[in-house]
Amino acid sequence: MEKHEIKGFIAARVAKELKDGDVVNLGIGLPTMIPNYLPEDVSVILQSENGIIGTNPNSDDLNPMYVVDAGGQPTAANIGGSFIDSSVSFGLIRGGHVDCTILGALEVDQEGNLANWIIPGKKVPGMGGAMDLVVGAKKVIVAMEHTARGNAKILKKCRLPLTALQCIDMIVTEMGVMEVREEGLTLTEYNPEFTVEQIQEATEAVLIIAPDLKKMI
Amino acid sequence: MAKFITVEQAADLIPDGAVVMFGGFMGCGNAHKIIEVLAQKGTKDLTVISNDAAMMNGPDGSEFYGLAKLVHNKQIKKLIATHVGLNPEVAEQMNNGTMEVTLIPQGSLVEMIRAGGAGLGGVLTPTGLGTIVQDADHVHSVVEIDGRKYLLERPLRADFAVVCGYKIDRAGNIWYKGTTRNFSQMMATAADIVIAEADHVVECGEIEPENVVTSGILVDYVVNGGES
């Protein structure tokens, strides 16, 4: 796979996890590409934690002095959507009213721990809403490239400060799909451009191979 | 009853060293006119409580959008926020020791403010459990209730809250446009003095009672920020 195809490939696979009518919160970067890959009969309600239910970044009617998304970018509310304050927004998030959140990661591990908000001494952007989202959303999907400059990001144990403990349900990369299960991190789908051995080699965590392992996409 | 004052009078209310909550999210919903005058005046040693430190450039083409002006002028001694990644000057000042930064999860920060304004003794949240947030000063303790663990977060109040409404009526009732309400609704309950900047000042009744978001009883001062 060419480098420039990777993000779209991951986004297309994550899109298959979403059901019509799901309330979904997308992190910045790759996750924002996911709606482009939804089938025509699947429409999701995008929540933006700064206070929008039903965001529509493709609207012709943008007014960024008054309406931005959680990344500070221009967006709009759909007809049928609503604007809410931060307290209600995070009440929805922690209260389990968001079906799925999809976000990137610096590190994840085989216990489902997530680190995505700080590299001490180097990068301290802050957690924003991430800690609440991964604790409160019904399903947490990490969408990211499998490695960073050749180094494993899927570890036995996260080394960076955590965003939350045991919060991840699923990890989707260009190499495969992994689910955090009681028995361990389980490879359920693989990209046939890679062998299972190559995927394990790029992963520090111990992968359990699902008995019904499928091809990705 | 809210008192109508000029933007300069509003800025004069806030002394050096004050603890100030600013509504806004990445600059959207900041009280831009009041912040501009605070930046010109050079009010210093502020403790600022806000979601973020805004962005280097605004959608209106401005350099140092909203609160970024106060960061750029080094007027903030301590910043309590959730995310500062869009303003690299915060990291600079944090690294050279001129600004103290406390990062709090967004949902916890807004609830701590809500608790501060609603007379509650704290907030129990699962957010931050098992992370470095658990050891921060704003967390009182870990509490177990019916077998589930929570962080007990302390309530948060300020000397001033500075918010911006799209429409504010003569009684100080506020209606916010779009996503500008974000933290402002709760901040307006949690400060000793609340200053609201109006994009448009309107007569009472123009905001229907059921559409009032922040009641005028919470608002001490209103600044006519512009195009009424």
- Give the pLDDT confidence of B50-79 residue by residue, as tens digits: 999 999 999 999 999 999 999 999 999 999
One domain for residues B91 and B119: no
Q: Which residues of A touch B56 (CB under 8 A)?
A: none
Place of tokens 């309400």: B181
Do the beta carbons of residue B99 and residue B77 sit within 8 Å?
A: yes
Are A68 and B126 in contact (CB < 8 Å)? no
As a whole number, mean pLDDT of residues A176-192 equals 98
Interface confidence: ipTM more than 0.95: yes
Residues of B184-221 as b/e, b for ≥16 C-beta within 10 angstroms? bbbbbbbbebbbbbbbbbbeeeebeeeebbbebebbbb
**DSSP assignment letter at B52:** B
One domain for residues B39 and B141: no
Q: Give bridge partners of residue B197 from the DSSP assignment.
A: B164, B223
Q: Which residues of A touch B128 (CB under 8 A)?
A: 131, 164
Q: Which residues of A touch B178 (CB under 8 A)?
A: 63, 66-67, 77, 83
Other C-beta atoms closer than 10 Å to the C-beta of B96 total 8
Is A49 noted as a catalytic residue in this protein?
Answer: yes
Q: What is the pLDDT of residues A88-106, one digit of tens each?
A: 999 999 999 999 999 999 9
Q: What percent of chain B has pLDDT over 90?
A: 98
One domain for residues B11 and B37: yes
One domain for residues B45 and B74: yes
- A59: burial class by Cβ within 10 Å (0-12, 13-18, 19+)? middle
Strand locations in A84-207, DSSP E?
100-103, 107-109, 114-115, 139-143, 147-148, 151-152, 154-155, 170-172, 176-181, 184-190
* Ramachandran angles phi, psi of B195, nearest 5°: -115, 125
One domain for residues B62 and B14: yes
Residue ending a domain, among B153, B183, B211, is B153
Do the beta carbons of residue B2 and residue B171 sit within 8 Å?
A: yes
Question: One digit per residue, pLDDT tens: chain B, 228 residues?
Answer: 799 999 999 999 999 999 999 999 999 999 999 999 999 999 999 999 999 999 999 999 999 999 999 999 999 999 999 999 999 999 999 999 999 999 999 999 999 999 999 999 999 999 999 999 999 999 999 999 999 999 999 999 999 999 999 999 999 999 999 999 999 999 999 999 999 999 999 999 999 999 999 999 999 999 999 853
* Minimum CA–CA partner of A117 in chain B: B83
For A3-215, give the CATH class. Answer: alpha beta
Q: How many CB pairs under 8 A join A and B?
A: 147
According to the model, what pLDDT value does residue B228 have? 39
Is the confidence at residue A122, as pLDDT, over 60? yes
Nearest to B179 among A83, A126, A130 (CB): A83
* Token duo for residue B132: 């470095």
* Minimum CA–CA partner of A163 in chain B: B131
One domain for residues B82 and B128: no
Q: Could you tell me if B83 lies within 8 Å of chain A, comparing CB atoms?
A: yes
Do the beta carbons of residue B107 and residue A98 sit within 8 Å?
A: no
Q: Any residues with CB less than 8 A from the CB of A211 and at least 6 apart, and which?
A: none
Nearest to A51 among B125, B132, B179 (CB): B179
Residue B202: give its domain's CATH number.
3.40.1080.10
Report the relative pairing of strands A176-181 and A184-190 from DSSP bridges. antiparallel
Look up residue B191 and give its amino acid: A
One domain for residues B143 and B98: no
Do the beta carbons of residue B18 and residue B47 sit within 8 Å?
A: yes
Tally of domains within chain B:
2
Is the confidence at residue A4, as pLDDT, over 60? yes
Task: Say if pTM beats, i.e. exceeds, 0.90.
Answer: yes
One domain for residues B71 and B36: yes
Coil, strand or helix: which one is B69? Answer: helix
One domain for residues B203 and B131: no
Residue ending a domain, among B153, B169, B184, is B153
Q: Which of A2, A17, A49, A183 is catalytic?
A: A49
According to the model, what pLDDT value does residue A1 have? 87
Nearest to A124 among B94, B111, B125 (CB): B94
Higher pLDDT, A103 or A121: A103
Do the beta carbons of residue B217 and residue B3 sit within 8 Å?
A: no
Residue B223: closest CA among B34, B67, B38:
B34
According to the model, what pLDDT value does residue A135 have? 98
Place of tokens 């009032």: B212
According to the model, what pLDDT value does residue B27 have? 98
* Ramachandran angles phi, psi of B90, nearest 5°: -65, -45
Distance CA A13, CA B25 (A): 32
Report the relative pairing of strands A45-48 and A52-55 from DSSP bridges. antiparallel
One domain for residues B148 and B176: no
Do the beta carbons of residue A200 and residue A170 sit within 8 Å?
A: no
Q: Domain limits at B137?
A: 107-153
According to the model, what pLDDT value does residue B227 have? 55
One domain for residues B98 and B127: no
One domain for residues B15 and B84: yes
